[in-house]
């Protein structure tokens, strides 16, 4: 089964300010704000939801197909996809644009100031999903607004089961549009904040949505996750990580575990446990794609944590 990953490819520029924002931003002078932060530490990471999910699926031994849009500065990312043996055939380069980029500055109190430039991501609707891709499963992760709407329609018309993962893109859509996504989707995955926002925007409860879906997945950070499927509520424990280093990309790693489980025909408890494990492996490394484990090591950790084979 080949899994199609529709979503963003991005560069994450992460800067560390060796001070505290509160010492430089004066509330009474906010109307004339003009501050500059010296950031001696700068990292540029490979990111984006589609890139992160595909990376984790590759660790699990899958052959994901990424559908995304990138800009003129995408050479480094194309080289990375080649090294990872991830097919670039559905990654479209849009001339005279830049690849989506996040600029994140963190202070000593772990406060963050982030600026995000969508760039080529806004052109994701230029990519079309057709039967020639031979995809049997898909996910719509955060991407350009028009692209997400179009891809959900194309997947529904082709009868390809897909997971709707609105993520940080959820506020772009009206309640009616979100209801359309859910009606077309086979699975929906949200975290607790996104779940509340989905309920507010649509006027529907998550449990009501779960009755129309094969599964609704609700992640709750350190409290684990819940999968509503087949009229059941399945509690998935949080796997204890070896280190708590960086949560960036943990949700994407979790979703890769779910997609792998669906494709492999696992039941929901097993798929959820694998997803939880993938999130724990990721959080022990900085960035969304710097954790490096073999399929055998993942299986060993699964056995160690859950007492059964993967």
What are 117-136's pLDDT values in tens digits? 999 999 999 999 999 999 99
Strand blocks (E) in 134-278? 137-140, 162-164, 187-191, 215-219, 225-229, 232-236
Quick check: is 298 in a domain? yes
Neighbouring CB atoms inside 10 A of 246's CB total 18
User: Residues with Cβ < 8 Å from 40, sequence gap 6 or more?
Assistant: 16, 18
Q: Domain holding 299: CATH number?
A: 3.40.1190.20
Query: Which candidate, 98, 87, 44, places its Cα nearest to that of 288?
Result: 44
Judge whether residue 259 has pLDDT over 90: yes
Quick check: is 233 in a domain? yes
Q: How many domains does the chain have?
A: 1
- What's the confidence (pLDDT) of residue 248? 87
Domain residue limits at 131: 3-8+49-99+119-306
Query: Which candidate, 43, 62, 63, 47, places its Cα nearest to that of 11?
Result: 47
Quick check: is 161 in a domain? yes
Quick check: is 243 in a domain? yes
Judge whether residue 306 has pLDDT over 90: yes
Quick check: is 263 in a domain? yes
| Stretch 7-20: mean pLDDT | 94
Quick check: is 14 in a domain? no
Quick check: is 114 in a domain? no
* Higher per-residue confidence, 78 vs 29: 78
Quick check: is 18 in a domain? no
Query: Which candidate, 130, 200, 190, 144, places its Cα nearest to that of 163?
Result: 190
């Amino acid at each position: 089964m080949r899994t199609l990953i529709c979503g963003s490819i991005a560069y994450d520029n992460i800067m560390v300010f060796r001070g505290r924002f509160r010492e430089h931003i004066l509330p009474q002078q906010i109307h004339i704000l003009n501050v500059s932060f010296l950031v001696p530490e700068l990292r540029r990471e490979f990111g984006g939801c589609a890139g992160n999910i595909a990376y984790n699926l590759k660790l699990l031994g899958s052959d994901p197909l990424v559908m995304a849009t990138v800009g003129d500065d995408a050479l480094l990312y194309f080289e990375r996809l080649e090294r990872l043996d991830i097919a670039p055939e559905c990654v479209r380069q849009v001339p005279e644009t830049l690849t989506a980029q996040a600029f994140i500055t963190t202070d000593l109190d772990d406060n963050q100031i982030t600026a995000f430039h969508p760039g080529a991501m806004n052109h994701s609707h230029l990519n079309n999903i057709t039967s020639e891709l031979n995809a049997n499963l898909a996910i719509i992760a955060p991407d350009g607004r028009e692209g997400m709407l179009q891809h959900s329609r194309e997947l529904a018309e082709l009868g390809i089961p897909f997971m709707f993962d609105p993520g940080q893109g959820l506020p772009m859509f009206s309640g009616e549009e979100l209801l359309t996504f859910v009606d077309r989707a086979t699975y929906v995955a949200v975290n607790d904040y996104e779940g509340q926002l989905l309920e507010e925007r649509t006027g529907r409860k998550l449990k009501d949505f779960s009755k129309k879906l094969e599964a609704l997945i609700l992640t709750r950070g350190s409290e684990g996750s819940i999968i509503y499927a087949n009229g059941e509520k399945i509690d998935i424990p949080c796997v204890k990580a070896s280190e708590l280093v960086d949560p960036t990309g943990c949700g994407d790693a979790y979703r890769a575990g779910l997609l792998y489980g669906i494709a492999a025909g696992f039941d929901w408890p097993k798929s959820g446990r694998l997803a939880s494990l993938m999130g724990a492996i990721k959080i022990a490394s900085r960035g969304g794609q710097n954790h490096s484990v073999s399929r055998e090591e993942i299986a060993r950790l699964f056995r160690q944590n859950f007492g059964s084979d993967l």
